[in-house]
């Protein structure tokens, strides 16, 4: 049953949330923010609004077709308002521990090889989380006021006011999404098979 409103949001680079909203990717990579509980990533919600962030976006860590979409901002900068245009269901979560698997996933997200290697190498004792998200475009995007509690290096926030999900539409068809999930799962499964 589809929710009518939502307040839970997942923070991610604006260029990535835009790509999810356009159906250009279904994948996010995570290790956890500095202000995460226990300083480790965990999935707090499986249905979320996509909340775009700008401060940490860096062109040199994106594939060329995405790098041109980023305007660098100074440290500590935040917009006065934030556009919320998409909702997502996190359908699959994989933990990746092998560099070869991270390299095999390169075609499926917006970041380049340097970003993937840095994200994988940070806190090397802990796996990289690969999340697959089924994106939905909101029928009417919402422009919300930035609030200080939305800031900081954390993945999950609750918005002060709910956002309507009425009339949202999937950005990919069921078959397109299932095909991409199956292809990505095959890459991740190759790591599991190699470890047997």
Q: What percentage of the chain exceeds 70 in pLDDT? A: 91
CATH number at 27 reads: 2.30.130.30
Residue pair 135/172 in contact (Cβ under 8 Å)? The answer is yes
Burial of 44 (0-12, 13-18, 19+ CB in 10 A): middle
With b for 16 or more beta-carbon neighbours within 10 A and e for fewer, the 81-99 pattern comes to ebebbbbbebeeebebebe
Number of domains making up the chain: 1
**pLDDT recorded at residue 196:** 46
Q: What is the mean pLDDT of residues 2-13?
A: 88
Sorted by sequence, the CB contacts under 8 Å of residue 120 that are 6+ apart come out as: 96, 99, 102, 128
Give which of 145, 24, 132 is closest to 82, Cα–Cα.
Answer: 145
Which one has a higher pLDDT value, 66 or 124?
A: 66
Sorted by sequence, the CB contacts under 8 Å of residue 53 that are 6+ apart come out as: 11, 12, 13, 14
- pLDDT tens by residue, 128-164: 889 999 999 999 999 999 999 999 888 899 999 999 9
**pLDDT recorded at residue 97:** 87
- Please check the confidence at residue 2 and state whether its pLDDT lies above 60: no
d(CA 134, CA 92) in angstroms, rounded, equals 9
- Please check the confidence at residue 1 and state whether its pLDDT lies above 50: no
Domain limits for position 44: 5-194
- pLDDT tens by residue, 75-84: 888 899 999 9
* Mean per-residue pLDDT of the chain: 89
- Please check the confidence at residue 33 and state whether its pLDDT lies above 70: no
- pLDDT tens by residue, 90-117: 999 999 988 899 999 999 999 999 988 8
3-state secondary structure of 88: strand
């Amino acid at each position: 049953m589809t929710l009518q409103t939502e307040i839970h949001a997942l923070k991610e680079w604006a260029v990535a949330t835009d790509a999810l909203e356009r159906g250009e990717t279904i994948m996010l990579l995570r290790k956890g923010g500095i202000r995460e509980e226990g300083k480790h990533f965990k999935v707090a919600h499986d249905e979320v609004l996509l909340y775009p962030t700008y401060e940490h976006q860096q062109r040199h860590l994106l594939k060329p077709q995405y790098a041109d979409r980023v305007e660098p901002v100074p440290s500590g900068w935040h917009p006065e308002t934030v556009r919320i245009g998409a909702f997502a269901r996190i359908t699959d979560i994989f933990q990746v521990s092998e560099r070869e698997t991270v390299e095999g996933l390169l075609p499926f997200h917006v970041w380049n090889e340097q970003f993937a290697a840095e994200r994988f190498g940070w806190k090397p004792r802990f796996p990289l989380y690969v999340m697959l998200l089924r994106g939905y475009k909101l029928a009417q995007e919402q422009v919300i006021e930035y609030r200080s509690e939305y800031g900081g290096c954390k993945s999950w926030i609750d918005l002060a006011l709910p956002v309507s999900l009425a009339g949202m539409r999937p950005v990919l068809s069921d078959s397109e999404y299932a095909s991409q999930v199956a292809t990505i799962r095959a890459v991740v499964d190759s790591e599991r098979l190699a470890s047997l």
